Amino acid sequence: MNKLQKPAENIYQKGRSLWSDALRRLRRQKLAMISFVVITFYVGFAGFIYLAESLDWNMQTISWEEETGDSYQPPSVKNVFGTDIFGRSVLRKTLYGVKISITVALCASFISLAIGVPLGAIAGYFRGVTDDVVVWIYSTLSSVPYILLVLAFAVVLQNKTIFGIKLTGITTVYLAIGLTSWVGICRLIRGEIIKRKESDYVLAARSYGCPTMRIIFKHLLPNVFHIIIINFSLRFVGFIHAEVILSFLGLGETDRPSWGAMINDARIELSRGVWWQMAAATAAIFFISLALNIFGDALRDSLDPKLKV
């Protein structure tokens, strides 16, 4: 080569990882980004209420017990969603309900993942008797209608004491949902581990004498982590709906406002023509459910390598 000749420039571009490529594709979907903003608002507001209560801030936004008018005032400039039977702002009750629903959904999601992911991974890797036992357990649970199973757990856990902690209200709800909702993710992870356990990188790790648990949790699970995230986003809205149902039936939070309790109270009010409490709770559930479904679908499309264009 001539010394004066410059070396050829590298025409190859550096490849993108699965996560960076998924983020790039997700940003191009405007509707998904709008949904993400809505979800961020709900989660951020729930965190703000939790922080304000923990630090004992005197904020009007979360002081839902304060009377702001007469009983059953219709929506107005002062009270956007009117007032309830005690003259309390329905808007403040609806905003406070965000904390209850988001807290339950987050805690229930982490509990279900903490149970389902390890069980599914261990069953899929070891197979044999271990797999049979895990399959028998989740097959038994899945044979019972989900809502009845959640109700049964909620009733059993109500007012029980575990490790010195009395289970009431919101704690009972997210434990009941989390302990009954791990079946789907367990079945999904088990199938993915069965497909990947004979992959080249797993065989290489075995040949180097890598411990079994390290192979499962250090090599296999990181390769299916995107599936866990997708499942988390899609099931989050289901946990919110389960909390609303339990609160509607009187098994959830009773001392503080929640969307389910508001809908339960609004049943009687509808006969009097008082519709605004039902409308406020329903609208809050509708927007978070729509945003989570749209964002979950977009996230699944972005993280699925088979859908790359």
How far from chain centre, in Å, is Cα 203? Answer: 35
Q: What is the pLDDT of residue 256?
A: 82
One pLDDT digit (tens) per residue for the chain, 309 residues: 455 554 545 554 555 666 777 788 888 889 989 999 999 999 998 888 888 877 766 666 567 777 777 888 888 888 888 888 888 888 888 988 898 889 889 999 999 999 999 999 999 999 889 999 999 999 998 888 888 888 888 888 877 777 667 677 778 888 888 888 899 999 999 999 999 888 888 888 888 888 888 988 888 888 888 888 888 888 888 899 888 888 888 877 777 888 988 888 888 888 888 888 999 999 999 999 999 999 988 888 887 656 554
Interior angle at CA 254, CA 248 and CA 256, nearest 5 = 110
- Is 304:238 a contact under the CB 8 Å cutoff? no
Question: What domains appear along the chain, each with residue ranges and CATH number?
Answer: 38-52+82-307 (1.10.3720.10)
Q: Which of 70, 63, 71 is nearest to 91 (CA)?
A: 63
Q: What is the pLDDT of residue 58?
A: 66
- What span, in angstroms and rounded, lies between the C-alpha atoms of 218 and 121? 12
173-209: b (≥16 Cβ within 10 Å) or e: bbbbbbbbbbbbbbbbbbebbeebbeeeebeebeeee
- The encoded tokens of residue 251 equal 């098994």
DSSP secondary structure code for residue 74 in this structure: P
Q: What is the pLDDT of residue 86?
A: 85
Those residues with Cβ within 8 angstroms of residue 11's Cβ, 6 or more apart along the chain or in another chain: none
Q: What is the pLDDT of residue 133?
A: 93
Q: What is the pLDDT of residue 14?
A: 58
